[in-house]
Structures are given as structure tokens and as C-alpha cells.
Chain A
Amino acid sequence: MTIAMNAFKEKIRRKELYIVCIIGILIVILFGTGNGEITIGGKPITGYEMLSPVILIVVNAVACILTAIMSASTIPNEYQRHTDHLIRIRKVSQARYHFELAMANFFAGLSSLGILFLSVVIFVFSQGHAGDIWKLVPAFLMMAINMAIVSFLSSTLSIILPPFLSGSISVVITLVGIFYSLLLLVKDVLGGFAGGFLKVVLFLFPNLHEISRSAGEFMGGEMADLHIILKGLLWVYIFAVLILIIKRKEA
């Protein structure tokens, strides 16, 4: 894990994580202080029970998109700087090299999620639900699965595509995953060819919404959905295997 840790430390030194901090603070201001008001259908969304699933969905969406963007450049940058050569002369296989860089992306994603989760911690305290604070640990671990999916997906694409292209495709797939439930409904309403096409797209893409929804339900007192967790882990597995299998030409 030396390669992963070094790549991760480098990411910390760069500015992406500071952006995450700022967004996290904005979320705290929006949800936690009561100065910002969210309305759905003209009705204000207030109160712990109504806000906690919403804040988790927002945190999930922001963390997923930032992770997708941050993960797209790690592997191409390393090749651009020819550090791969230094690794290869130490007899490190390309598969392991890619996998460790993908792990660095995952750690960066996890850090983003962690920073954003601070806003959830403040929110839980500010709403007077300190007794629920322990629930944030399983909720965080559940949502960490999404960070793994997105960072591994973006890493997989960045092995074969230039950073801009892999980043763009990753963000699109991430957005589909975040709005999965809505798109599922659109698919049903559309029917016909468009509905069939959307069905195929949704089958091929991971559902990033259901994990955050399930984490929100867990915070609200429901059981965590094992099926959703296992499905998420299966996606992580698929992308991890792809990282190990896919080779880069210039190596």
C-alpha cells in the first residue's frame, strides 16, 4: 500500500479537498443553522426526520461527483510524469500499480465523505439528537461503498482514456447513479424504445441513490438493507477486477 499512501498524500496536498471543505461548510449553513430554508413543492422541509435523509442524499451526491472528478486524473498523471517507470523497475506489476492508485483515489473519496460527514455530525447535534450519533458510523460505512464504486469506476476509465474524457464519462455515470430512482420512474413512464434503452443503461450502471437512501432510513431507525449493501459491494468488486485486468499500452 506504499504507492497508494504516497499518491493519497499527494492528493491531500492539492486543492480538491479544500473545495470539499468549503462545500461541507455551506451544507452545514444550509441545513444545520436554520438560516437556509429548503422547500419541496412549496412546503418547507424542516425537522430532524425530514432533513436527515435529505442531507445524506446531498452529501452522497456531492461526495460522489467530487470523487469521480478527483479520481480521473491520478493514473494518467502518474504516467505523464513517468513515475510508472520507477515503479516497474522495482518489479511491481502494472495491475498492482493501477490498483494501488485506485486505492489512493478511494482514500481521497473517503476523506471527502468524511469532511462532508462532519456537517452531518454538526447537524445531528444541532437538532438535539446526540443519542443518534453512533448511527453515523454504519451510515458512513454504507456510503463509503459508493465512494469505492465511483473511485474505482473513474480509475478504470482513466487507465484507457485521457483524464478529461474519463472524468466526463465518470461524472455522467455518477449522475445516472445519483438520479437512479428518478430515471427508473422515467423509464417506466416512457415505455417503448426510449424506455427499453433506459432500462439497458440502468442495468449497466450502479445505483448510487439506494445506498444513501438506505443509510438515511437507517438513521431514521430502520434496518440496513443487506441486499443493497451486497449489490454495492458487487459493483466495487466488478470495477476492482477491471482495474486488475485492463492494461495500459504505453507501459
Chain B
Amino acid sequence: MKKAAVILLGVILLAGVVLTGEYGLSEENTKIYESAVALEAQVEEIGFDTFHISDYPVAYYDGDKDYVLTVEDGEVVTAKRKPVLNAIAATAYPVEEHYEVLVPTVERMSSLVGMASLGEADYTEADQVATLWHEAFHCFQLTNYEAQVIALAGNGVEEAMIASEVDDNAAAVDNITLQLEVLEAAVKEADVDKKKEYILQYEELEKEREVLLEADVLQTEKYYVTVEGSAYYIESKVCEIQDETAAWIKYVDTIGTYHDGSAKYYQKGMAICRLLDELKPDWKAEYDFSESLETYLFNEV
């Protein structure tokens, strides 16, 4: 009798745990995906006409499973599967014959950002929407310009190389700090002629850079500026659609700030895309990633 009561208590507790638990993908994640898809018409106006987030499945990783979201006949469809990457990462990843956006769920991203910044930074739904567009742009690059992206990567991209060859090189740091400041001034400058003067200054600094660094380091920089910088540009524009003032503070006001690691190249690439928007508004119709954004800017403007 006592044994039966003990077993019954265990069964009741277990049932309570199972019944009160939350399973599957939270509604918040689905809403974020729907919000991202809802921006398609506005993002199309940015200029990459054939770029649509709904062309690429979005897989949310919750620590155990991938939840793959797609749009079918105007409806969001969710499918569960074993995780293809099984790690926290926001990336574009080949799955079968296509590329997919792999991102952690907003809950996971939020704890990661909170913990990495020791509670200083928040990760909002708007941030997650912008991240989805950022990674979707990588899917677009790899689907349409894979050969060019691989060529830009040269012998392979290693972020550790940036730390050892650039961040620890005082002359290279001074040079790129100046470049970033010039780019921020150029983006904020209203006068077209002055904008072009800034670009010439930037080009001069880039030539100095070619003397300071080895060829493979320069190639890695070009890759980051072009591939990541353009995706960062899309991310910033998506943020701008959602909240123009917040996007300006987060992205444009920080162009001139030097950061260790690859972040500074994201800033450079985004700034160049913004300059091209003003000086060659139709650039996205012809740009095919066969040359770096910098080379394209110097040739075209």
C-alpha cells in the first residue's frame, strides 16, 4: 500500500512536469519570422531585386532541435528536424541542395548576448529580425554568386589572423582607425563633392594599407568588407525600416569606432554600400561580388 502511494506520487509529479512544460518553438519566434517576411516589399526597394528572405528556409535552433520555417502559399509552415549544426551560430548553411538561415531561437540569442555582455546589452525582437535578413543575404550571395564569394575568401578566412596581424599591429590599427573616421564623415556629409574627397582620402589610406600588410591578410580584409559588410548593410537597412533613429545611432554613428576582430570590416563594408547608394544609386543592379566593394567604389565613383 505504501509502495503504491509512493509510485502514485511519482507518477503525479512526472505528469505535472510534463503537462506544465512548454514544448516546441515559442510563438515569439514564429512572429519574428513573420515580421521579417512582412518587410520583403520594403527590403526589395533597397535594390537587390531578386533578394527575398522567403526564398531561404529559416531554421531556429533551440539547443535540441531545428525548427525550419518556410512560406508556402502565403502561410508560414514549421517543420521539426534534428539539428544540422548542433551549435549556437547565426549563419548561412548548405542543407541538401540549397542554403538555409540557421539562427538560435530569440530566447537563446537573448541569453547569449546578455551573458556575453554581462547584462549590458539587450537583444530585441527587432535585432532578431535584422539578423534573419543579414543571414538571408549570405544565402542570397552564396546561391547567386558562390564562385565570386569563394574567390574573395582566397586561401580561406581566419578571424584569428585579424587579431594577430591587424589588431596587434599599431600602424595598421592607426591606419584603419583613420579609414573608419573618414568613412563616417563621408556617409554623414551631404555635399557630393566633399563626399568624393573623403573617398579619395580613403583610397590613399587603402594604398598605405597595402604596404603595411601581407597579401593574405589584405585578402581576408577584402572578404570581410565585401561579404560581411554588404550583409551588415542589409541588416542596418532592415533596422532602419523598423526604427530609423535607433538604426542611425546603432549603425551610422558607430562607423568610426574601431573594434578588435572582424567587426570593423562590417562597418567599412556597410559604409561603402551607403556611399554607393548616394553616388551610384543603381549599383546593386550590376554589382556581382566579382571584385571587392572597395575596388568597385574606387572604380565607379
Contact = CB atoms under 8 A, between A and B. Distances in A.
Interface string B43-83: 00000000000000000010100000000000000000000
Which secondary structure dominates where chain A touches chain B? Answer: helix
A237 B63 CA distance: 27
B24 interface: no
A122 to B, nearest CB: 25
A230 B13 contact: yes
A13 interface: no
B88 A189 contact: yes
B257 to A, nearest CB: 17
A71 to B, nearest CB: 22
Interface stretch (B111-119, B150-158, B207-215, B236-244): B111-119
Interface residues of A, number: 25
Interface in A175-207: 181-182, 184-185, 187-192, 195-196
A99 B88 CA distance: 43
B86 A195 contact: yes
Contact of A191 (B6, B10, B14, B87): B87
Contact of B115 (A182, A226, A234): A182
B3 to A, nearest CB: 10
Contacts of A9: none
A42 B120 CA distance: 9
A191 B102 CA distance: 14
Contact of A227 (B21, B86, B104, B120): B21
Nearest to B13: A234
B13 A226 contact: no
Nearest to A230: B16
Contacts of A241: 6, 10
Contacts of B10: 234, 237, 241
A218 B212 CA distance: 58
Interface residues of B, number: 25
B176 to A, nearest CB: 26
Given A181-B111, A233-B13, A191 B85 contact: yes
B300 interface: no
A188 B87 contact: yes
B17 interface: yes
A37 to B, nearest CB: 15
A137 interface: no
A230 B20 contact: yes
A187 B14 contact: no
B22 interface: yes
Which of B16, B21, B117 has the most chain A CB within a 10 Å cutoff?
Answer: B16
Interface string A21-48: 0000000000000000000111100000
Contacts of A234: 10, 13-14, 16-17
Nearest to B85: A191
16 contacts: A41-B117, A41-B118, A42-B120, A185-B88, A185-B108, A185-B115, A187-B63, A188-B61, A188-B63, A189-B87, A189-B112, A226-B20, A227-B17, A227-B22, A234-B10, A234-B14
Given A185-B115, A230-B17, 9 more contacts: A40-B118, A40-B119, A181-B111, A185-B111, A187-B63, A188-B61, A188-B87, A190-B87, A191-B86
